Amino acid sequence: METVGSESQERLQPLKQLLDNSKGFWRRYRKNRVAVIGLGIVILFFFLAVLAAQIAPYDPFVMDPGSRLQSPSVSHLMGTDLFGRDIFSRIVYGTRISLFIGFVSATISAVIGIAVGAISGYYGGKLDEVLMRAVEIFIVIPTFFLILIIVAIFGGSIWNVMAIIGLTIWPSTTRLVRAEFLSTKEKEFVTAAISVGSKDAHIILREILPNAVFPAIVNMSLQVASAILTESSLSFLGLGDPNNVSWGWLLKDALRSMRSAWWDSVFPGIFISLAVISFNVIGDGLNDALNPYLKER
């Protein structure tokens, strides 16, 4: 009876901590006003993405030869493109694709990055050496060219693109998580867990990881930004998914109408930039909020 009681109490501890932290978390995050604005923009984009069908005034795919290359006006807020498609509607639908790719790629990268970093940092030794060599290689080689070749050969469906971006950007997360594991595993509570005979999986997941995951969370926000940029660049080079038009694809289309329609080029780029800035400043805000001690220095 008593063991069951202490067991459940132990389980409750992290949850309680999380709730206590979350209040302080928001209080600290709020201090970074720019990060709050960034979060606001991302929430706005999120609504654009979810409610695209309700918000977009036109069908983003339907061509209308009668309204080609119209400048921004009341009926076409951001003008129309070479085929008479409404730019604003195309951007709203593009938000869906670009954000989705950003989030999924960053999630894939976070999962791999945390797993490799945890294993590498916890076990050390030969395994660590091999994994760190792999990380080093990924950090030096021009990965954009690798992504590009794979997408060119295996096709540019968004699933391919997301998987490949995620599979190539994890090393930075790994480095951060590994460093945290190296310092945390020397702490007393870990020694205590080892001495009562806890399994490795328990120590890694329940003891160390909750303390080592913060840099990975901050990094994930930055990686959403970089994944959105990478995908835009791929689409811009013609390696996007024609069925899932992203912001970058709109810029590729705009290359052909630059001479006659500046609005085709200007507006999609503003959305990409806003999204990237926002995720970057959210990263800063998370850093301030999750590392209260770092800020004091």
Among 82, 148, 163, 217, binds other proteins (CB under 8 A): 148
Residues in a beta bridge with 80: 86
Q: Under rule CB under 8 A, how many of the chain's residues touch other proteins?
A: 40
Counting contacts by CB under 8 A, is residue 4 touching other proteins?
Answer: no
> Please, which residues have CB within 8 angstroms of residue 4's CB and are 6 or more apart in sequence?
none
x/- site string to other proteins, residues 236 to 255, per CB under 8 A? xxxx--------x--x--xx
Contact (Cβ atoms closer than 8 angstroms) between residue 131 and residue 120: yes
Counting contacts by CB under 8 A, is residue 292 touching other proteins?
Answer: no
47 versus 154: smaller Cβ distance to other proteins: 154
Stretch of residues binding other proteins (CB under 8 A), selected from 16-24, 101-109, 201-209, 271-279: 271-279
Stretch of residues binding other proteins (CB under 8 A), selected from 98-106, 120-128, 208-216, 262-270: 262-270
3-state secondary structure of 80: strand
- Give least dist CB 200 to other proteins, A: 30
Counting contacts by CB under 8 A, is residue 277 touching other proteins?
Answer: yes
**C-alpha span between 285 and 292 (Å, rounded):** 11
Phi, psi of 86 (to 5 degrees): -75, 120
C-alpha gyration radius of the chain: 23
x/- site string to other proteins, residues 7 to 46, per CB under 8 A? ----------------------------------------
Contact (Cβ atoms closer than 8 angstroms) between residue 234 and residue 147: yes
Counting contacts by CB under 8 A, is residue 293 touching other proteins?
Answer: no
Counting contacts by CB under 8 A, is residue 129 touching other proteins?
Answer: no
- Give least dist CB 143 to other proteins, A: 7
- Give least dist CB 255 to other proteins, A: 7
Phi, psi of 60 (to 5 degrees): -70, -15
**C-alpha span between 141 and 1 (Å, rounded):** 58
Among 37, 146, 167, 182, binds other proteins (CB under 8 A): 146
Contact (Cβ atoms closer than 8 angstroms) between residue 192 and residue 206: no
- Give least dist CB 266 to other proteins, A: 7
Total Cβ atoms within 10 A of residue 157: 15
**C-alpha span between 141 and 21 (Å, rounded):** 39
**C-alpha span between 86 and 40 (Å, rounded):** 26
Quote the Cα angle for 175-159-239, to 5°: 95
7 versus 129: smaller Cβ distance to other proteins: 129
Counting contacts by CB under 8 A, is residue 139 touching other proteins?
Answer: yes
Counting contacts by CB under 8 A, is residue 192 touching other proteins?
Answer: no
Counting contacts by CB under 8 A, is residue 130 touching other proteins?
Answer: no
